[in-house]
Amino acid sequence: MTPRLTPRLTPRPTGRTARIRLTTALSLATTLVVALLGLAAGSASYSLAEIAGVLAGFGSPADQLVLIEFRAPRVAAGLAVGASLGLAGALTQTFARNPLATPDILGVTSGASLGAVAAICLGGGTYAVAAPLLALGLPAAAAVGALAAAVVVYGLAWRGGVDSYRLILIGIGATAALGGVTNYLVARAQITDASAAAQWMVGNLAGVSWVSVWPVVVVLALVWPFAAAQSRALDVSQLGDDLASGLGVDLNRHRFAVLGCAVALTAAAVAASGPVEFAAFVSPQIALRLAAAARPPLAASALVGACLVTGADALARGPLPGDTPVGIITAIIGAPYLLWLLIRHRPGQEAL
């Protein structure tokens, strides 16, 4: 009698799955090392033993002040902002099946920047004005701006479906228009407000405090389960809209969920640090190539983003002269990669 075969409900991990898990674990270990280096970097250097002692409650009051009150919020902000941008970039790149489809290029970052700059310039605030405006005013304004930009870009790109290249072209136009409005607000603002907005617009972690870190952490913690729940739909959507619909994926609901997660993450990150250019673009692509996956892995992309932003900020406070804004360093890293990606792309070639 022939034995009855039953389907296996829990598939065994494949070689690709094992590599994704290994990449995620290595990214986590690297991020922890970079975070410790971020605590050590600065005008007053500390050894790892001294850092461990201060974190355990020992050390002089001066060391406690430097590490706990000044450097720890900055490192935590770099981790949270980088993870948020890395995750947002992985979602939008996979959703559009194109590595250029990041919050920076799709207008989401520019919309969040416009909302936050409007809160600074029109609200009469400054970058260090106070915790209530920084914790409530800027995140709310950035969220509204990011959401409005995403809705407009997605609506203009819709033609019975969304083509990735049309979405990118419309996003580039929206980014330019929103950037023009933002520059107009800065030009018309009072000198103190304009100076604060200009400093914030380059992407800077120098003025962050624990008050500005917690909103990003909370948003990241709330959004992550929703983003992880879209993993299967993200995998299936790589096969094309028709096949994904045939396999039971509700494309409209899936797209709204992905865009909603990306908008929330980008708005929270931009509100805390300003627009950190190219972090959402580079991080998923690094994770994709390390994991040799079919699409950017979400957890690894978030960890690579955290490592990138925190490492760039540590570099700004360490070897480089002065306190260079982190957005400048990530732009220097990301811009050549973007040019290389555009040069090597061939017509008809799959983007991811």
CATH for 75-343?
Answer: 1.10.3470.10
How far lies 253's CA from each of 103, 144, 256, 329, in Å?
19, 21, 5, 37
Tokens 């997660």: give the residue.
Answer: 261
Three-class SS state of 320:
coil
CA 323 – CA 204 distance, rounded (Å)? 9
What pTM, to 2 d.p., does this model score? Answer: 0.85
Q: Tell me which DSSP letter residue 207 carries.
A: T
> Which pLDDT tens digit goes with each residue over 295-319?
899 999 999 999 999 999 888 877 6
Show the DSSP H helices in 6-60 as ranges. 15-40, 48-55
Please say whether the beta carbons of 81 and 216 come within 8 A.
yes
What single-letter amino acid sits at 306?
A: A
pLDDT means over runs of 10, the chain (352 residues): 41 68 93 89 73 75 79 91 94 85 88 86 53 58 86 83 79 92 88 80 83 89 92 78 69 80 90 87 90 89 94 80 79 80 60 48
Instruction: Output the six-digit token pair for 21.
Output: 């898990």
What single-letter amino acid sits at 23?
A: T
Please say whether the beta carbons of 175 and 157 come within 8 A.
no
The ranges assigned to domains in the chain are 75-343
> Which pLDDT tens digit goes with each residue over 37-51?
888 877 777 777 777
* pLDDT of amino acid 3: 44
Please say whether the beta carbons of 102 and 93 come within 8 A.
yes
Please say whether the beta carbons of 193 and 125 come within 8 A.
yes
Show the DSSP H helices in 65-209 as ranges. 72-96, 108-122, 131-132, 138-157, 164-188, 191-201
* pLDDT of amino acid 321: 62
